[in-house]
Structure 1
Amino acid sequence: MLIKMTVRGIALDPITNMPIVILKDPEDRRALPIWVGIFEANAIALELEKVSTPRPMTHDLLKNILDGLGITVQQITVNDLKENTFYATIDLNYNGRVVSIDARPSDAIAIALRTNAPIFVAENVVAQAKNIEVSEEKEETDKWKEWLENLKPEDFGKYKM
């Protein structure tokens, strides 16, 4: 089963200082943190903040190519989690035919935001993600879990480049 989610913001992991994209369902019952790289976080943040750049960035270029070819993004799906790595697909509609493309979740999310495509997460991925051990040391794991459980909308703020 798929759960529709939206990007609620980007936060920094308090332990590693790596960016995390936070996906949440509409009822705020389930959240999925996905660790991403700095450049990917910037691409997502630019679109979240509707910052225009003088020249097309990579994800903007890809959107322009899709638009130019008459291809629409039907949806993106975070569909798997293996060895602490998330997997996603971008479903493209090309002349009535759906083509599913393997992608990193960060790229898929950046594309979904630019094309207003819905974001889905497989229910088993959300369940599996709850079991990920963030750190070997219990103290750090507890600190991280407490931080994630207590996230509030104002904690996201504006992501600075």
Structure 2
Amino acid sequence: MMVEMDVQGITLDPISNMPILVLKSKETNDILPIWIGVFEANSIAMYLECMTYPRPLTYDLVTALIESLSSTVEQVNIHTVKDNTFYASIILKDANGNTVEVDARPSDAVNIALRSGSPIYVSQEVLNQVKNGNKEIDLEEEDIKEWIDSLKPEDFERNIEF
């Protein structure tokens, strides 16, 4: 079973100072934190802040390429976590109705989903693994919510550069 998620935002791990992509279920209080790279976090943050540039950036280019090939991004699936690494797929549909599944890092897939307006899904198995501690995450759901609520815009400005 897949659970539809929204991008809640980007925050920073206070210990490693690495960006964390925070996804939240549309129907429940499930939260999925995924540690991602700075470049990918910058791209997500720029999109969420409605920042535009005169020339296409990488994810804008990829989205334009997909569209120029008469294809659409149907959805993004974060389907597996193995050895503390999340795995995702981008599901594309061409003009003939054929679907293609493309392997992707979750941060890249989410960037493409945001730009294409496509839904983001996480498997219930991944959510269960994270909840049950099979993923090395020491944060409880309530701790994550409290931490997100306490963040201020200046917390992002000093750590993530555009």
Determine if the TM-score, normalized by the shorter chain, exceeds 0.5.
yes
Aligned position for 1:76: 76
Aligned position for 1:111: 112
Q: TM-score, normalised by structure 2?
A: 0.87
Distance 1:147 1:74, change over 3 A: same
- C-alpha distance in structure 1 between counterparts of 2:147 and 2:26, whole Å: 16
Counterpart AA for 1:129: V
- C-alpha distance in structure 2 between counterparts of 1:117 and 1:156, whole Å: 28
C-alpha contact 2:63 2:116 (8 A) present in aligned 1: yes
Equivalenced residues, count: 153
Counterpart AA for 2:23: L
Q: CA deviation at 1:67?
A: 1.2
CA RMSD of aligned residues (A): 1.8
Aligned position for 1:150: 146
- C-alpha distance in structure 2 between counterparts of 1:85 and 1:122, whole Å: 14
Q: CA deviation at 1:46?
A: 1.1
Q: Equivalent residue of 1:92, what SS?
A: strand
Q: CA deviation at 1:152?
A: 3.9
Aligned position for 2:9: 9
Q: Equivalent residue of 1:150, what SS?
A: helix
- C-alpha distance in structure 1 between counterparts of 2:152 and 2:5, whole Å: 17
- C-alpha distance in structure 1 between counterparts of 2:50 and 2:149, whole Å: 18
Q: CA deviation at 1:27?
A: 3.7
Q: Please, which runs of 5 or more residues in structure 2 have no aligned partner?
A: none
- C-alpha distance in structure 1 between counterparts of 2:119 and 2:29, whole Å: 18
Deviation >6 Å, runs of 4+: none
Distance 1:147 1:39, change over 3 A: same
Distance 1:154 1:47, change over 3 A: farther
2:129 is equivalent to residue 133 of structure 1: no
C-alpha contact 2:11 2:148 (8 A) present in aligned 1: no
Aligned position for 2:21: 21
Aligned position for 2:65: 65
Q: TM-score, normalised by structure 1?
A: 0.88
Aligned position for 2:101: 100
Q: CA deviation at 1:14?
A: 1.2
